[in-house]
Amino acid sequence: ALAALRGHQRRALLLRRMVAAEPPSPSSSPRQGRTKEERRKGVGSAKSVAETAPEGVFGPPTLVAAEPRLLEDVIAGGPPPAAEALQPDYLRRAARLKDELASAVVLGIETSCDDTAVAVLRGDGTVLGQDVASQHELHEEWGGVVPSIAFEAHKANIRTTQENALADAGLTMADVDAVAVTVGPGLEICLRVGTEFAKELCAEHGTPFMAVHHLEAHCLMARLGLADEAPAFPFLALLVSGGHCQMLLVRGLGRYSIIGGTIDDALGEAYDKVARMLGLPATNGGGPALERAARAGDKTKYPLPVPMQQRPDCDFSYAGLKTSVRNAIGKLRRQLGEEFADPEVPLPEQVVNDLSASFQDSAIKHLEQRLRRALKRLAASGGEEDQIKQIVLAGGVAANQELRARMEALCEKHELELLVPDPRLCTDNGVMVAWAAIERLETGQICLPDDQQVQARVPMGTALELES
Ligand code: KG4
Ligand code: ZN
């Protein structure tokens, strides 16, 4: 049984890497920039997304299994599957949704990885209630997320988590106007638990259904409930989590251009692995403990190389830095003498702190370098539609205070605004799922449950080649 689980664990890590290293899709999407005139008028700003987003049906690449539909097409008996497959009041309820979105109640469900999370949001972004069943303790001893364990835990917890979130909001399913769920990317069997549960809820209560792309949800968190103040498209998003490490130009809902991605490990994954090597506890991944250790450490004591100095692109790599830490640990154990030769013997606390500080410093320097490079190239590209004013930092690692402070400083230097969600909303949660659905609903989109299935890998957009 142990060997089988270890196998699962390897597969889990492999899956994470596959998701992280998603190659850009070869299909091209039309550019959706704003003209000077539009910008002057504020077209394309947060408020006017609803007026500008849907073009044709949904021209740009869809991020879910099937393109969401314009409600009016569905009502007009538009392309199959036909509306008669739905409960009679589905369309009536969906139609009311867009008109009364600010006061509508949306339930968001997230089961793509190791957290069963459900939140209840009002259409204006107010969080009415939420609950999370975290699985970190279950996976901790395996050193990574074990899909089969995650699947069982999602199954065991989903209904209670949904009931708790509703109870937290003081509401019942009768009050819910739409159910949103992450359909990808992520661990397929886990995505399926949430998606099937959401479909069952929608079938039972005749509730409109929304399929959500996990990474779009992370990216859009910075716009939560900000109305006119929300970052306007286009903005740059730096998505750093346990499974993903990407720099994206966010041109609009569903319109992403990939500026850079990781060629091996995601940043959060590197934090987790290095934390494990240093014997740090893995509550919420290794990141928080490593950050705490780094705060008490001296980053100049054991300097580590900044990754990918030889590659003049905007991609990331964290596998080499992880190996540098492993080598440094080996060397230090030899220097510290016999007592520390056994890798099971914990290193002295100050050594752990100093190594943590060095790792974190090099990891962030790598991000800074790539970001500065991308900004320079974007500015030089002459593509007016690519000129950005804001950077959004998202994903689990965005909870890191040192990273936030350094990104803030970088943005200030470039006269850009940095937007980072509340640390609790940086890691996976139900709020981001409900909010991403609200953003889409605002543009008149609706999904039909039968159209949607889970997808372990979903490209986020097309590659944007910036000249050096
Ligand atoms: O977004 P998330 O919850 O899940 C994925 O989609 O992967 O991100 C989890 C990752 C973990 O790798 C965790 O170690 C990292 O985010 N993380 C942090 C911090 N808090 C969470 N990394 C560095 N510093 C933190 N404070
Ligand atoms: Zn995530």
Mean pLDDT of 289-305: 97
Q: How far apart are CA 216 and CA 202, in angstroms?
A: 22
Does residue 397 have its Cβ closer than 6 Å to ligand 1?
A: yes
* Domain 69-224+426-463, CATH homologous superfamily name and number: ATPase, nucleotide binding domain (3.30.420.40)
- In the three-class reduction of DSSP (H, G, I as helix; E, B as strand; rest coil), residue 244 is classed as coil
Distance 285 CA to ligand 1 centre (A): 6
Q: pTM (2 decimals)?
A: 0.82
First vs last C-alpha separation in the chain: 52
Distances (CA, A) of 159 to 14, 146, 315: 29, 21, 40
Which residues in 259-279 are b (16+ Cβ under 10 Å) and which e? bbbbbbbbbbbbbbbbbbbbe
Find the angle CA(364)-CA(368)-CA(371) to the nearest 5 degrees: 135
pLDDT at 447: 84
Say if 69-224+426-463 and 235-420 have the same CATH topology: yes
Does residue 272 have its Cβ closer than 6 Å to ligand 1?
A: yes
Least confident window among 90-104, 287-301, 333-347? 90-104
Closest ligand 1 atom to residue 427 Cα is 3
Q: Is the pLDDT of residue 459 over 80?
A: no
What tokens does 408 get? 């803030």
Q: pLDDT above 90 covers what percent of the chain?
A: 60
Q: Contact 363/237 with Cβ under 8 angstroms?
A: no
Q: Is the pLDDT of residue 121 over 90?
A: yes
Q: Is the pLDDT of residue 12 over 50?
A: no
Q: Contact 218/117 with Cβ under 8 angstroms?
A: no
- In the three-class reduction of DSSP (H, G, I as helix; E, B as strand; rest coil), residue 202 is classed as helix
Instruction: Indicate the residue type of 14.
Output: L
Q: Contact 247/237 with Cβ under 8 angstroms?
A: yes
- E-strand stretches of 208-287: 209-213, 235-240, 245-252, 255-261
Please report, for the chain, the start and end positions of each structural domain, with discontinuous segments joined by +.
Answer: 69-224+426-463, 235-420
DSSP letter for 24, please: P
Phi-psi region of 225 (alpha: psi -120 to 50; beta: other; left: phi over 0): left
What tokens does 249 get? 């130009």
Q: How many CB atoms lie within 10 A of CB 151?
A: 18
Does residue 430 have its Cβ closer than 6 Å to ligand 1?
A: no
27 contacts: CB under 8 Å, gap ≥ 6:
61, 462
Q: Is the pLDDT of residue 36 over 60?
A: no
Does residue 427 have its Cβ closer than 6 Å to ligand 1?
A: yes
Closest ligand 1 atom to residue 114 Cα is 4
Distance 293 CA to ligand 1 centre (A): 16
Q: List, for residues 212-255, the tens digit of each pLDDT value.
A: 999 999 999 999 988 888 888 999 999 999 988 999 999 888 88
Q: Is the pLDDT of residue 19 over 70?
A: no
Q: Is the pLDDT of residue 457 over 90?
A: no
Q: Contact 433/110 with Cβ under 8 angstroms?
A: yes
Which class does domain 235-420 fall in? alpha beta
Q: Is the pLDDT of residue 462 over 80?
A: no
Closest by Cα among 449, 444, 422, 446 to 127:
422
Distance 426 CA to ligand 2 centre (A): 8
Q: Is the pLDDT of residue 352 over 70?
A: yes
